Structure 1
Amino acid sequence: MTAAATNLYLSVDQVALRYNVSKDSIWRWKRKGDFPAPVKLGGTTTRWRLADIEQWEVELACGFVASLSFEPDALMGR
């Protein structure tokens, strides 16, 4: 992650576009605790730190890979 990425903030529209989902889906994920919390920048301005989203993506991918079980014999048809 670059220094620039740590300072980038995304709107709910940008986050929804990133995952090709609705804005309601983003808010639902956040309410369920399945998604990083946004940052209040004042007033009604809410943004997500790109660095937080990227970290969540890494953790999600690592969790998926860890959940896979590879059995070498099964892969070799034994």
Structure 2
Amino acid sequence: MANHIKLITAQGGIDMVTNIHSTANQQPDKTLHSDRLLRWSEVQPTVSICRSHAHQLAAKGLFPRPRKLVPGGRASAWVESEIMEWVQQRIASSVDGEGAA
């Protein structure tokens, strides 16, 4: 018997996913979203800096670089795991007294 899971998308829509594998004895997968591509509207609330500052930091190698969604296209997105790692580094450096980048 298949399990149906309701997922809320980033745009607020609802997707139904069929899970044909039993998950009764499995631990949750904590890496499920580690490689999602995030648009700036999802990145900005997490990092709390403006887009232009993020691009300045990325040019200096101090912030994750965005990836083009289509070769030669204009749209870009950031890898979620890289953004979360940057946030954790900011937290660690502020605790260690280094301050923000």
Give the number of the structure with larger relative contact order, counting CA–CA contacts within 8 Å between residues 6 or more apart. Answer: 1
CA RMSD of aligned residues (A): 2.4
Where does structure 2 lack aligned partners over 5 or more consecutive residues?
Answer: 1-28
CA gap 1:19/1:58 in 2 versus in 1, 3 angstroms: closer
Q: Which residue of 2 aligns with 1:13?
A: 41
Equivalenced residue count is 68
Name the TM-score, length of structure 2 as normaliser: 0.52
Q: Deviations over 1:20-77 (max 9, x none)?
A: 4432222222223221112222122311111101111112222222237xxxxxxxxx
Alignment counterpart, residue 52 of structure 1, candidates 82, 85, 90: 82
TM-score (ref. length: structure 1): 0.63
**Structure with the higher fraction of residues in helix conformation:** 1
For residues 95 and 45 of structure 2, what CA distance do their matches in structure 1 show? 25
The DSSP-based 3-state class of the residue aligned with 2:78 is: strand
Aligned-residue identity in percent: 21
SS for the counterpart of 1:48 is strand
2:51 aligned with 1:23: yes
Structure 1 segments (4+ residues) deviating >6 Å = none
Partner Cα separation in structure 1 for residue 30 and residue 42 of structure 2: 19
